[in-house]
Amino acid sequence: MKFLFLGDVMGRSGHDAINERLPGIIERYGFDFVVVNGENASHGKGLTEPHFNAIRNAGADVVTTGDHAFDQRETISYIERESTLIRPINMPPGTPGRGAMFLEGRNGHRVLVINALGRVFMGPADDPFRAVEAAVAACPLGEQADAIIVDFHTEATSEIRAMGQFLDGKVSTVVGTHTHIPTADHRVLRGGTALMADAGMCGDFDSIIGSETDEPLNRFLTGIPNGRFTPAEGEATLCGVAVETDPRTGSALQGAAAALGGTLAQAEPDFG
């Protein structure tokens, strides 16, 4: 099967680009399954229900989140009834929603999607390694699941690389989100797990990680807040990674970076 993972949707620029371009991307490249991290889609923080519905209607099978999962208060009320919206699995017991979802893709593929939150330079969270390990053990790759996709929302590339090595051979792919900067390290590990340290963002790169430059630059120069961060609204680049898996085992056969539109150098998620 072929699936596409897109990094953090950032503000109006990001969610408008998803709505306008994702359906054509799915059709052009023949993706069987799509995961989108939507945690910054609503004004740069969190995800309102209308924005979630729009991302789903554009073709995302599952929408993941991260440390901003509940920045929009309404998420608490609707995440329980939306099975395709998941929050990090290692949030404290009693947190609304779910951290993993098992569902069927467009061509009948059985896909497990897991969302986890890192702990390096991040807020308090339970052990992500053991939480993800338990979810994978309950739905093994090549048995119950035809593919397993892990969105590891973390600040440190060392932590995402560690998660990839920890899960190598047990999942189809481990993809990092959160920093909004796409890395150039996408590869398939020895055990058959595709790994990319950060998928980047779906947003305007003529910015400072998706925000208009004035306020972030002011804080770097003076150390004194002078206002709120405002999402940049120029043309978005849709960034992420595409992975093709072995239909028998669920292991990754190959991966390709995606960077479509906007100001970044373009990368086609095409396996030829």
| Three-state DSSP class for residue 221 | helix
Give the contacts of 166 (CB within 8 A, at least 6 positions apart). Answer: 129, 133
CA distances from 254 to 31, 154, 195, 260 (A): 14, 24, 10, 19
Catalytic residues: 68
Buried b (16+ CB within 10 A) or exposed e, 183-210: beebebbeebbbbbbbbbbbbbbbbbbb
Q: What's the CA gap between 146 and 220, in Å, rounded?
A: 46
Half-sphere exposure of 260 (CA within 13 A, CB side): 25
Is residue 66 within 8 A of residue 80, CB to CB? The reply is no
DSSP classification of residue 202: E
Is residue 108 within 8 A of residue 87, CB to CB? The reply is no
Q: What's the CA gap between 110 and 253, in Å, rounded?
A: 17
| Three-state DSSP class for residue 224 | coil
Q: What's the CA gap between 159 and 16, in Å, rounded?
A: 31
